[in-house]
Amino acid sequence: MVWVGISSLVSIFLALTPGFDALAYFFCLVIAPVLSIASGNLAISNVQQAKQLADTRPQSPWRILSHSLLLSLNLTLVPLAIISANILRVKVCDYGSGLLFYLVGPVMSAVFGTAIGHGLGLALRSGLGATLSFIGLILLSCGQLLWHFYHHPTIFAYNPYIGFISGAVYDDVIHIGHTFLLYRLNNVFQALAFLFCAQIYFARSRRPAHQSHDKPRIGFWTRFALALSTVVSLFFYLQRGSIGYEIERGHIETELSGIYQTKHFVIYYPQNVPYFKKNIALIAEDHEFRFTQLTQELATVVPYKIRSYLYTNNSQKRRLMGADKVQIAKPWLGEIHLTRPEYGAEVLKHELAHIFAANFAIGPLRIPTVLGFVPKMGLVEGLAVAVESSRGRLSLHQWSTTLMMLDKLPDMTKVLGPAGYFSTYGATAYTTAGSFIRFLIDQYGIGPVQKAYAGGDFDHAFEQPLPVLVTQWKSWISDPTRVPIAPDDLERARFIYDRKPIFNRICPLVVASLEREAEMANRRGNYEESLTIWRKVTFHNPHVPEKRFAQLDLLIRLGRFEEARQLGESIVVDPQTSAILRTRTELTLADVDWIIGSNESALASYRKLLSAPLSEDELRGIEVRYLALHTTDPTTRRDIGHYLVSRLPTDKARAALWAAAKRQNEPLLTYLVGKALFSEQRYLSAAVVLSSVVSATHLPTRLRREAERCLGEAWYHVGVYDWATHYFQQAAANTPPLAHGMLATLADWNARVRWKQSGTPTAVDGSVGIRE
């Protein structure tokens, strides 16, 4: 009854905790070790009682085991009943999937715990000794798990008592795959091997003293079962990397196969993937540039070569080391893990900042922690975000100011603590923590920030309490002379940051899994299947307009324009729709008008949307559409429409653009051709084409600015650095003065040009290799 009470209390607590309050992965992750420990303890007690009654009521070990299994399985029904009853107060989107998680997770953990407890109870005379040994085995398995996490790249883990530990919290696509099922099959054979060993030991220990030197009589089938379960368990162990439940560093490096070494990096990458074959030298150069930047900005040097692991896609990264959408650094190992990094992307600098910041921290994880192992993620991520050049159109301070104006600024003292970071929507926590640390660096220098990072003690590092520092930061970002904000930026911020943390969303794991399925179907070109899946998502989130908006593009691809129009109009009039989403829906409806030939209606919509609070890329796209619809030749206008709004496959869309460009020579078409060449990394051709565009007097400023930015990057890659600098400066001169983020990005490119002109070496070792 004690364990019934304990499991009930834990289940009730979880049922009242957001994110753990439904029969799904997170509930199962917590309740599994409770049931495993309880089942092992019950099995040990059961065996001890049977031993005491052996003279009057003898039972076979297998009969005792069956009774223990029945007790443990009955115990697993208690948490299942409590969390199932919680359906009355919490929406459950996929009970069947949750039940499968429960069977493969907690139920199997309870069965394994029963088997181990039973075996120890048989083998050891003392119940206390068996209990202590059982606890020791659990601690040993958890110690092995932690050792592997600490010494190898993987962030996921499989444990017989806990089940599957997915890894990063923000990777919300979690399902039961073949690896988990095979691992549980392995647990079955491990338990059987242990039971048969215990049975043999028990049989020997029960013999009379005068027979103690004789070999025990062990039946053929017992020996056969022991040999089979041992061999199968050994096979699973030897194949653990191939199966995927315990992957070591060497396995990852072998699969990636490519090695590229520079002065400060050893880069592992997929040798046979065309993207990496073509771009690995540029990616390595980017690594070295970010290394130089961080050395200067953080006033520290990493004295060893950093290991950088690059993956083809998120699926490969998820399978090999556990991270899916998120990019990962392990500061204590001096390594980072990225998916297909683009040249110049801020994510590389962000992850490398974690490695550099390890120089400031103490403790085994080389990050600020509580009690040595609970990370202070607000401080960890805040420093990494603080050194990024920009986050889109605005600066970190500007985004934080908009959050303050929208009354969405989180309590920074909590964000910097061990738990508050995860109770805040991820983008909000990242941005505000980064702004706060950036403010401290600018106002007090990097020295006090280094001290605060070492132990998380702001009071000692800055000689003033953390709340005082937070007040100073709030006062600074609320000053419009220092952090100016345009009215449209409020709506942009509302759209980006008006989200809930993962543990507060409706069915986050089910919805994320469905969205991934829809995305994969879309990539395969199976738009009907993708649309069906998105409608399932909408069923679970009927009051979330963003989920319905995702269907619009699919309806257009399927040629169901009237249905798309009806859906779009329902989103526009929905009171739950944000201003930004409403504007994006109106843009999609304008595209539909162009496709079906309602050009005047499309023109009117594009004209109205030119002043909408959308991103720079979206506004530029609207301007291109607006100009294209003014093209006098109907055939050219049709071809441009195929390229811009018809959602054709890339090759067909490009063919339409080339056809239009051959037919008519005008600045807009030249701009589009130049941009297409730039995206194909045909930099010299793009530079030649775009150079003729920037001199066009009637080209809109927004398009000229983008052409100048592309010209700067193109001439940089060609190696004509003076021209690159010239065009980056021109683009900056044409950038709105309040767009601090855009200006910072251009400044970052100018810094890159200066670094390149300085002749700083990159591939000093000059070695590109293949791991055998």
The pLDDT, as a whole number, for residue 120 is 92
Tell me which long-range contacts 686-693 makes (C-beta under 8 A, separation of at least 24): 686/710, 686/714, 687/711, 687/714, 687/715, 687/718, 690/714, 693/667
167 and 97 together in one domain: yes
Q: How confident is the model at residue 772 (pLDDT cuts 50, 70, 90)?
A: very low
348 and 467 together in one domain: no
415 and 530 together in one domain: no
The pLDDT, as a whole number, for residue 555 is 95
Q: Which two tokens stand for residue 651?
A: 């090759």
> Which letter does DSSP use for residue 764 in this model?
S
The pLDDT, as a whole number, for residue 429 is 85
Residue 692 maps to a domain: no
Q: How confident is the model at residue 372 (pLDDT cuts 50, 70, 90)?
A: confident
Spatial separation of the C-alpha atoms in residues 599 and 122, rounded to whole Å: 83
Assign residue 338 a region: left if phi > 0, alpha if psi is -120 to 50, beta otherwise?
A: beta
Spatial separation of the C-alpha atoms in residues 228 and 409, rounded to whole Å: 61
Residue 21 maps to a domain: yes
Residue 756 maps to a domain: no
Q: How confident is the model at residue 421 (pLDDT cuts 50, 70, 90)?
A: low
The residue out of 202, 229, 246 marking a domain boundary is: 246
Residue 289 maps to a domain: yes
Q: Which two tokens stand for residue 145?
A: 């798990």
Residue 748 maps to a domain: no
257 and 206 together in one domain: no
Of all residues in the chain, what percent carry a pLDDT higher than 70? 94
The pLDDT, as a whole number, for residue 738 is 87
pLDDT of 209 strictly over 70: no
pLDDT of 213 strictly over 60: no
Spatial separation of the C-alpha atoms in residues 272 and 181, rounded to whole Å: 31
> What average pLDDT does this structure show over 292-313?
96
User: What is the residue-averaged pLDDT of the chain?
Assistant: 89
Least confident of 120-129, 218-227, 529-538, 647-656: 218-227
> What average pLDDT does this structure show over 298-317?
96
The pLDDT, as a whole number, for residue 457 is 87
The pLDDT, as a whole number, for residue 771 is 45
Residue 235 maps to a domain: yes
Assign residue 370 a region: left if phi > 0, alpha if psi is -120 to 50, beta otherwise?
A: beta
388 and 473 together in one domain: yes
234 and 254 together in one domain: no
Spatial separation of the C-alpha atoms in residues 492 and 485, rounded to whole Å: 11
Contact in structure between 710 and 686 (CB atoms under 8 Å): yes
> Cα 527 from chain centroid?
25
Spatial separation of the C-alpha atoms in residues 547 and 528, rounded to whole Å: 16
Single out the residue of 530, 540, 693, 545 nearest to residue 627, CA to CA: 693
The pLDDT, as a whole number, for residue 770 is 46
Residue 670 maps to a domain: no
198 and 276 together in one domain: no
Q: How many domains are there within the chain? A: 4
Residue 207: partners with Cβ closer than 8 Å, 6 or more residues away: 214, 216
474 and 525 together in one domain: no
> What average pLDDT does this structure show over 720-740?
94
The residue out of 341, 359, 377 marking a domain boundary is: 359
DSSP letters for 623-650: HHHHHHTT-S-HHHHHHHHHHHTS---H
171 and 197 together in one domain: yes
Domain containing residue 526: CATH number? 1.25.40.10
The residue out of 601, 630, 659 marking a domain boundary is: 630
182 and 294 together in one domain: no
pLDDT of 761 strictly over 90: no
Domain that holds residue 338: 248-359
106 and 66 together in one domain: yes
> What average pLDDT does this structure show over 717-737?
94
> Which letter does DSSP use for residue 391 in this model?
B
Q: How confident is the model at residue 197 (pLDDT cuts 50, 70, 90)?
A: confident
Q: How confident is the model at residue 255 (pLDDT cuts 50, 70, 90)?
A: very high
pLDDT of 541 strictly over 90: no
40 and 90 together in one domain: yes
pLDDT of 61 strictly over 90: no
> What average pLDDT does this structure show over 501-510?
68
What residues pair up with 311 in beta bridges, in sequence order? 339
